[in-house]
Amino acid sequence: MSEFSRYTITDSDFDSVIDKVDETLLKHKLMDCHKLFVAYQKAVDDGYFSGDSLMDLLVSRCDKSQFIENSHIFIDGFYGYTPIQYALIEKLVNRVKNLTITVTISKEILKKQSLKQNHLYFESHETYNKLKDIVRENPGLEVVDKVMTNDHINVTKNHLRDNLYQYPYKVYQDQTEGIRIIKAVSLKKEVVSVCDIIVDYVRNKGYRYKDIAILCGDVSRYERLLNWRLKGMDMPYYLDSKKPFLASDVPGFVLSCVGIFYRNLSYKAMFTYLKSAYVDYDEEVMHYLENYVIRYGVKGLSGWQKEWQYKVPDIHLEKDSKAHSVCLASINQLKDSILKPIIKLKENKPMTIKEHVKCLYEFIDNLELEKNNSKKEEINMRLKVILIRQESIIKYMALLLICWNSSTSWTLIALWTSKASMKF
């Protein structure tokens, strides 16, 4: 559905394409896609707002915006655009004072009428020509070409650029400069070799660390090894990588607090919460408690509120022994201390989003996380966003912003908005 939206596919487009297709299997698949598309559009139009239609909304409102009327807009980092993005560019070019778009391409290629699809600059060349077509179709606009050349690139790199993806390609006959290929038996050896080369450049060739960049095709595969090696060699570096939102312990912990109620104190929900880094209970008693819950299938608030009297699942403890009684008493005491804040929050019965967030804040605040936190480096973040869904919240979207402020206290800020009151 996202692709259909990006490429401005409509209901009539499906009809025209299906009529032209002769191959049975493809025709049936297109018909299925058409049915899904129609059903999806009907569902979205019936009082919902889809993220896929954000760009359409932006295009429709762009020419009414006073905010961008006299602005200078720069678009960088793209080698191609989808039809809906071209539509937005056309709106912008008629509205803003100056629109600057960068395209990576050589000066000589700009003069050519067409390129083969396997050419390195094919996409950039197509983009450049489409942008010029937009300008031609809008009287009163002009294109100011400003070509920035890389004259400092040596002959070897120019040869590689001109022959990459080409067939037949030309073989470079002279001595290569500025390009080195290394064979490594593992990722670890590869990272070690690269770091050693960097050290050599800094110590012996007058380079500085800020002049050097390491580019990876898949950063996730190299991230751990790069962190290990660069830190070990005391190299200053910045790793430009996106971490999954839930990779941090904090969002996972807050979601586990919500999960207790959402899943009605199930085993998985309770022990996801209890095994987090921010809940600190006696580890040995916690092991006994977990084994007891597994052995007797304890679940639900009623199951946790009862006094547990069955034998502790441990072969070294006799049921009528003093040690067993002490262990069982410790388990019940731990269970009651775990339930105390949970029952308090359960009894509040919040109705609005504001009340939900306030109760959650009080629940977390009562746990005194600051005193129990052993990983302050991980939790010292400026901004984290958590989307919390509950069965009782249908028409609302709760956005929790968790901030760790200078006084090392928790701040939970709730932004709530109803579907009916959304304005754009």
Q: What is the DSSP string of 247-301?
A: GSHHHHHHHHHHHHHHTTS-HHHHHHHHTSTT----HHHHHHHHHHHHHHT--HH
Residue 96's pLDDT band, with cuts at 50, 70 and 90, is confident
Could you tell me if 413 and 401 are in contact, meaning their C-beta atoms sit under 8 angstroms apart? Answer: yes
Reference 360, options 266, 292, 261, 249; nearest CA is 261
Reference 367, options 290, 293, 298, 277; nearest CA is 277
Q: Are residues 213 and 164 in the same domain?
A: no
Q: Are residues 366 and 252 in the same domain?
A: yes
- Is 28 inside any structural domain? yes
Read off the CATH number of the domain in which 123 is found: 3.40.50.300
Residue 245's pLDDT band, with cuts at 50, 70 and 90, is low
The pLDDT assigned to 273 comes to 87
Of the given ranges (175-184, 186-195, 341-350), which has the lowest mean pLDDT?
A: 341-350
Sign of CA pseudo-dihedral 77, 82, 84, 87: positive
Sign of CA pseudo-dihedral 273, 279, 284, 288: negative
pLDDT tens-digit readout, 263-278 = 888 999 898 888 877 7
- The neighbour count for residue 367, using CB atoms within 10 Å, is 16
The pLDDT assigned to 362 comes to 75
Q: Are residues 160 and 197 in the same domain?
A: no
pLDDT tens-digit readout, 370-421 = 444 444 344 334 333 333 333 333 333 333 333 333 333 333 333 333 333 3
**CB-based burial label for 363 (10 Å; 0-12, 13-18, 19+):** buried
The pLDDT assigned to 228 comes to 92
Q: Are residues 41 and 64 in the same domain?
A: no
- Is 158 inside any structural domain? yes
Averaged pLDDT, 282-304: 89
Asked if pLDDT for residue 286 goes beyond 50, the answer is yes
State the total domains in the chain. 5
Share of the chain above pLDDT 70, in %: 80
- Is 130 inside any structural domain? yes
- Is 377 inside any structural domain? no
H helix or E strand, kind and range, residue 72: strand 72-75
- The neighbour count for residue 350, using CB atoms within 10 Å, is 16
Residue 209's pLDDT band, with cuts at 50, 70 and 90, is very high
Query: How many angstroms separate the CA atoms of 60 and 87, rounded?
Result: 10
- Is 413 inside any structural domain? no
Query: How many angstroms separate the CA atoms of 151 and 61, rounded?
Result: 43
- What is the distance between the terminal CA atoms of the chain, rounded to a whole angstrom? 22
Residue 293's pLDDT band, with cuts at 50, 70 and 90, is very high
pLDDT averaged over the chain?
77
The residue among 356, 371, 386 that closes a domain is 371
The residue among 338, 354, 371 that closes a domain is 371
CA 78 to chain centre: 20
More confident of the two residues 211 and 414: 211
Asked if pLDDT for residue 290 goes beyond 70, the answer is yes
Which residues have CB under 8 Å from 132's CB, separation 6+?
143
- Is 209 inside any structural domain? yes
Cis status, amide bond into 83, omega within 30 of 0: no
pLDDT tens-digit readout, 231-243 = 999 999 998 877 7
- Is 398 inside any structural domain? no
pTM: 0.50
Amino acid at 33: C
CA 354 to chain centre: 26
The pLDDT assigned to 153 comes to 65
- Is 110 inside any structural domain? yes
Q: Are residues 68 and 93 in the same domain?
A: yes
Sign of CA pseudo-dihedral 323, 324, 326, 331: positive
Given the structure tokens 């396997």, which residue do they identify? 118
Q: Are residues 252 and 367 in the same domain?
A: yes
More confident of the two residues 227 and 399: 227
The pLDDT assigned to 227 comes to 92
Could you tell me if 118 and 166 are in contact, meaning their C-beta atoms sit under 8 angstroms apart? Answer: yes
Q: Are residues 21 and 88 in the same domain?
A: no
More confident of the two residues 297 and 255: 297
Q: Does residue 98 sit in helix, strand or coil?
A: strand
User: Whole domain around residue 173: which residue ranges?
Assistant: 149-179
Q: Are residues 271 and 308 in the same domain?
A: yes
> In degrees rounded to 5, what are phi and psi of residue 312?
-70, 130
